[in-house]
Homo-oligomer: A and B are copies of this chain.
Amino acid sequence: MKKKVTIKTISESAGVSPSIVSRIFSGKAKQYRIAQKTERKVLALAEKLGYRPNYFAKSLNSTQTFSIGLIFANTVDSFLGSIMEGVEARLRDTEYQMVVATCDNSPELERVELERMLYRQTDGIIIYPSALPLGEVYPTAHLAQQKAKPTPFVVIGREIPFESDFVLFSDYEAGELAARNFLDTGCRKFAAVTLPIECSSNRDRIKGFTETLEKAGIDKNNIVVSVANPDNSPKRSDLKKLEGTDAMFAINSSLLVEFAHTLAKAGVISSLKGYAPGMESFQHLLPLSGTFLPMPGREMGWQAADILLDKIISGNRDFMVKRLDWPEPVIIQAT
């Protein structure tokens, strides 16, 4: 039932003024040329009494809250988790904390969570924006802030039509790489598999793939783009079109695995080369040959946090777009 110990408690029992204590604890001892012995005395006393500066009092007049917000479009899975990990890694050894929220791919909920964070005055926000059903357009109105000193934010993982900082994966290049690889190894009939979800990463991956093939003079009839059902399974009506495919690029690894299996079982394909961003736990156990591009989630998170901190600290207003490549590709041979 000890009383709470504040700056005043310390200042009194040290026989100095509160300002001295405040200065010491805000790391301004040097700047104010505080006597070494005074500082030591205060520090010792604080330690002894178990003093902890009050976070709220501090933030109240400094308008720095040392918390940054993360808003994720959906439930955190291992990709989003790795982004979080990267952010946290960058934040270690700073005073910063992460406040996180998810918004179930709803721009409206996204807005609500954003508002909430602005209200709580997070110093900056990282946002992995909602993806919508095919055809719908991501609204950006909620991202505009009319304040003189707007809260900086960084968009991660998905490009949106709004001027901002971005940390993205090399989506287009991933598709391009897949196409090149297929072309180099003599494949003839190509499939690109995606999901019925509107977002830049899906779009750009597929685009990188198909454009590269087309530039190489592949006949459009030999490039099939298939949009899967939401549960990753192929649409029945696409089965025939996919017949004889010998090279398949998918927007992510689980989709690739699912497709390859289903098509093989249906007898629509025999052997197949696969290519996809992402990694699944058991791909090495599966009867599938393919190349997987691990997603640099951790690095993306780190970079996003780094940009954010820079903006917060330096007040820098320029926007930057950073595209990160995959680490070493992982090649799986059919067993």
Which A residues form the contact surface with B (CB < 8 A)?
Answer: 1-2, 52, 54-57, 59-60, 65, 67, 75-78, 80-82, 84-85, 88, 97-102, 116, 119-121, 146-148, 254, 257-258, 261, 265, 280-282, 285-286, 335
User: A86: nearest residue on chain B (CB-CB)?
Assistant: B75
CB-based contact A65/B56 at 8 Å:
yes
Our pick among B57, B75, B97 for the contact of A116 (Cβ within 8 Å) is B97
Contacts of A1 in B (CB 8 A): 148
A119-B52, A148-B1, A257-B282 as given contacts; A101 in contact with B99, CB under 8 Å? no
- The complex is assembled from copies of this chain, and their number is 2
Our pick among B2, B59, B148, B286 for the contact of A56 (Cβ within 8 Å) is B59
A229 → B minimal CB distance (Å): 15
A258 → B minimal CB distance (Å): 7
Main SS of the interface on chain A? mixed
A56-B56, A60-B57, A281-B254 as given contacts; A77 in contact with B77, CB under 8 Å? yes
A78-B77, A81-B75 as given contacts; A99 in contact with B102, CB under 8 Å? no
Contacts of A76 in B (CB 8 A): 76, 78, 80-81, 84-85
CB-based contact A261/B280 at 8 Å:
no
What are the 3 tightest A-B residue pairs by CB atom distance, in nearest-first order? A76-B81, A56-B60, A1-B148
User: How many angstroms between the C-alpha atoms of A22 and B332 in the bound complex?
Assistant: 64
User: A50: nearest residue on chain B (CB-CB)?
Assistant: B146
Contacts of A257 in B (CB 8 A): 281-282, 285
User: How many angstroms between the C-alpha atoms of A121 and B80 in the bound complex?
Assistant: 27
Contacts of A116 in B (CB 8 A): 97
CB-based contact A81/B80 at 8 Å:
yes
Our pick among B59, B85, B100, B254 for the contact of A84 (Cβ within 8 Å) is B100
CB-based contact A101/B88 at 8 Å:
yes
Our pick among B52, B101, B148, B282 for the contact of A280 (Cβ within 8 Å) is B282
Could you list 26 examples of A-B contacts with CB < 8 Å? A1-B148, A2-B148, A52-B119, A55-B121, A56-B59, A56-B60, A56-B65, A56-B121, A75-B81, A75-B82, A76-B76, A76-B78, A77-B77, A81-B81, A85-B102, A88-B101, A97-B116, A99-B99, A99-B100, A254-B281, A257-B282, A258-B282, A258-B285, A261-B282, A280-B281, A282-B282
Contacts of A65 in B (CB 8 A): 56
A301 → B minimal CB distance (Å): 11
User: A63: nearest residue on chain B (CB-CB)?
Assistant: B56
